[in-house]
Amino acid sequence: MSGDNFFLDSILKRMPLAGVDEVGRGPLAGPVVAAAVILDTAKPVSGIKDSKKLTHNRRVALSEKIKQHAHAYAIGRAGVEEIDSINILQASLLAMKRAVENLAIVPECVLVDGNHKPDITIECFAIIKGDSLVEAISAASILAKVERDMEMMALDNIYPGYGFAKHKGYPTKVHMEAISSLGVTDIHRRSFAPVAKYITTNA
């Protein structure tokens, strides 16, 4: 474990360094969204940690602070059509690639959460549990989560009755009941088994 820590510590010394994470692999609807963040060590933001360990209000507040103090940040996404075409893993990596490419500053090194890396020309390392180990990845997870949640809340107004503002597209009981009664929408991932079984019946 000490060797792993030494490896990570050596990478974290490389600047500028971008942390990257994605949100939205599990939902049955909506895009997968990624964020890339280059933090400014001279302007630390207190309280940054894995977005899953934060309340909604705390995430929103931290998201604004991160945007204000970071050297650079960017969002990338892959839509439902891309998810259904190339599968959710490849769509997630594509969203990450787009987030990195959208950065106003080109980082020397990129760290991504998980065990897969996007296809980018910049040196990149996949860090398992990176959203808990690397502050820049944690920051990216916060930005991605807030961005996607806001988008799903907006989609709730376009597709009323499905409860997107509450469950954000995840396969909750309420969501499954809505699909069963209202049918499959344009923003549902038709390649996902829980959605696919309703297409013939409710198309």
CA distances from 62 to 12, 99, 145, 148 (A): 22, 19, 11, 15
The answer to whether position 131 is within a domain reads: yes
The answer to whether position 19 is within a domain reads: yes
The answer to whether position 176 is within a domain reads: no
Q: Which residue range is the domain that position 134 belongs to? A: 2-149
Given the DSSP bridges, would you call strands 32-38 and 109-113 parallel, antiparallel or unpaired?
Answer: unpaired
Of the chain, the percentage scoring pLDDT greater than 70 comes to 93
Q: pLDDT for 134-156, tens place per residue?
A: 999 999 999 999 999 999 999 99
Domain count, the chain: 1
Taking the complete model, does pTM exceed 0.85, yes or no?
A: yes
Query: What is the mean predicted confidence (pLDDT) over 10-24?
Result: 86
The answer to whether position 169 is within a domain reads: no
Q: How far is Cα 7 from Cα 49, in angstroms, rounded to an integer?
A: 21
The answer to whether position 9 is within a domain reads: yes
Confidence of residue 172 (pLDDT cuts 50, 70, 90): very high
The answer to whether position 194 is within a domain reads: no
* pLDDT computed for residue 8 by the predictor: 72
Helix (H, G, I), strand (E, B) or coil at 126: strand
The answer to whether position 90 is within a domain reads: yes
The answer to whether position 172 is within a domain reads: no
CATH of the domain at 29: 3.30.420.10
Given the DSSP bridges, would you call strands 124-127 and 109-113 parallel, antiparallel or unpaired?
Answer: parallel
